[in-house]
């Protein structure tokens, strides 16, 4: 079931979701993930004009947090290049977050996790592609999905800390980690954000979300709307479809907007970075930041994951 959002003369802007202090920068809690801008590997290339329009419209609607990476590219599109082309000169308050660690070959295969001494070249590549002098936030992409890692978590974070001290980046985050790894990480360097896969029906990291709350660290879920992977599409997750649709209908919203709103309701430290290459979907995603669910609706949505556990 698909519910069309109610049209309104008033366009919701990103500040409706509230703000969070991401390191030394303040961002609206709903931002934009850049991975889907140019299309995914299994899709036909998206319109370049649409991708540029999405980025420019996002800024018009108050988005000041964009998440990207140098390894977000397809044979004909690069997210970093699209961002640079669309948005330079960058707005003063725009925060661009990048990721380092793995890399992607031109044929779409992920390369082994970079060694600690290779992180400088990855940081510099992001700086070059984005046309910046310094990166706002650099997330170390860790985790078991990137095999053949050389060096410990401490070695990699220490290398990033050295690059921060050298002025190449302002803040350090970490991605695809466990609660124990976060506990280790914060003994090595200040961590401003954690990016993990998480959503209404994908809640293995509830404990990690709470740990971030305790330490004042932003929790930034990816794939919060639909389950998917970089390598292949799994399609939208239809678990609890009827319950989600009922909440969506009550608000004149879409199921995707309800999923995003639920994510933001998980705590003031939770930031959303939904990705899209479609200008209409962008406006819907940002409008989700203004959707206020009732306590009963949140409880009903919580039970969807509980029932599937």
Q: 10-19, pLDDT tens digit by residue?
A: 789 999 999 9
pTM: 0.90
* 1 domain residue, yes or no: no
- For residue 127 the two structure tokens come to 């700086």
pLDDT tens digits for range 36-81: 897 776 677 778 999 999 999 999 999 999 999 998 988 788 999 9
Domain presence at residue 206: yes
Look at residues 298, 288, 211, 287 and name the one whose alpha carbon lies nearest to residue 247: 298
Provide the 10 A C-beta neighbour count for residue 90. Answer: 16
Between the alpha carbon of residue 238 and those of residues 221, 224, 226, 305, 308, the distances in Å are 19, 13, 9, 12, 12
Residue 141, C-beta contacts closer than 8 angstroms, at least 6 positions apart: 69, 99, 100, 101, 102, 175, 176
| Residue 229 is assigned to a structural domain of this protein | no
Distance, CA of 292 to CA of 307 (rounded, Å): 24
Angle between helices 295-308 and 255-264 (to 10 degrees): 100
Peptide bond into 89 cis (omega under 30): yes
Question: Does residue 103 sit within a domain?
Answer: yes
CATH value at residue 151: 3.20.20.100
Out of 36, 65, 71, 72, the active site residue is 72
Q: What domain range is 131 assigned to?
A: 19-224+270-277
Mark whether 72 is an active-site residue. Answer: yes
In a domain, 44, yes or no: yes
pLDDT at 159 over 50: yes
Using the 8-state DSSP alphabet, how is residue 36 labeled? T
In 3D, which of 116, 160, 114, 124 has the Cα closest to residue 139?
160
The two three-digit tokens of residue 305, written as one number: 């994951």
When divided into structural domains, the chain yields a total of 1
Summarised one tens digit per residue, pLDDT across range 241-296 is 899 999 999 999 999 999 999 999 999 999 999 999 899 999 999 999 999 999 99
Specify whether the CB–CB gap between 260 and 274 falls below 8 A: yes
Q: Does any domain span residue 293?
A: no
Among residues 29, 8, 2, the alpha carbon closest in space to that of 289 is found at 29
């Amino acid at each position: 079931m698909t519910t069309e959002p109610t049209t309104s003369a008033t366009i919701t802007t990103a500040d409706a979701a509230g703000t969070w202090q991401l390191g030394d920068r303040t961002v609206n809690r709903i931002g934009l993930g850049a991975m889907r801008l140019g299309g995914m590997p299994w899709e036909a290339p998206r319109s370049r004009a649409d991708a540029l329009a999405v980025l420019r419209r996002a800024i018009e609607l108050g988005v000041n947090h964009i998440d990207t990476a140098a390894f977000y590219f397809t044979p004909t599109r690069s997210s970093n290049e699209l961002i640079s082309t669309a948005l330079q000169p960058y707005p003063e308050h725009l925060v661009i977050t990048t990721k380092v660690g793995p890399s992607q070959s031109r044929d779409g295969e992920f390369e082994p996790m970079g060694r600690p001494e290779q992180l400088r070249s990855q940081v510099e590549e992001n700086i070059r592609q984005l046309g910046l002098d310094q990166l706002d936030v650099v997330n170390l992409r860790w985790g078991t999905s990137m095999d053949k890692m050389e060096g410990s978590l401490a070695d990699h974070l220490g290398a990033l800390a050295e690059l921060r001290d050298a002025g190449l980046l302002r803040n350090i985050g970490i991605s695809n980690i466990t609660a124990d790894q976060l506990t280790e990480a914060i003994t090595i360097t200040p961590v401003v954000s954690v990016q993990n896969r998480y959503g209404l029906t994908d809640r293995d990291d509830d404990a990690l979300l709470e740990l971030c709350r305790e330490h004042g660290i932003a929790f930034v879920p990816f794939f919060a709307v639909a389950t998917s992977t970089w390598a292949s599409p799994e399609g939208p997750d239809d678990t609890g479809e009827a319950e989600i649709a009922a909440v969506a209908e009550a608000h004149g919203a879409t199921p995707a907007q309800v999923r995003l709103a639920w994510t933001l309701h998980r705590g003031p430290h939770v930031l959303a970075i939904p990705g899209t290459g479609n200008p209409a979907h962008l406006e819907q995603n940002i409008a989700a930041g203004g959707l206020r669910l009732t306590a009963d609706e949140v409880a009903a949505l919580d039970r969807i994951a509980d029932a599937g556990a």
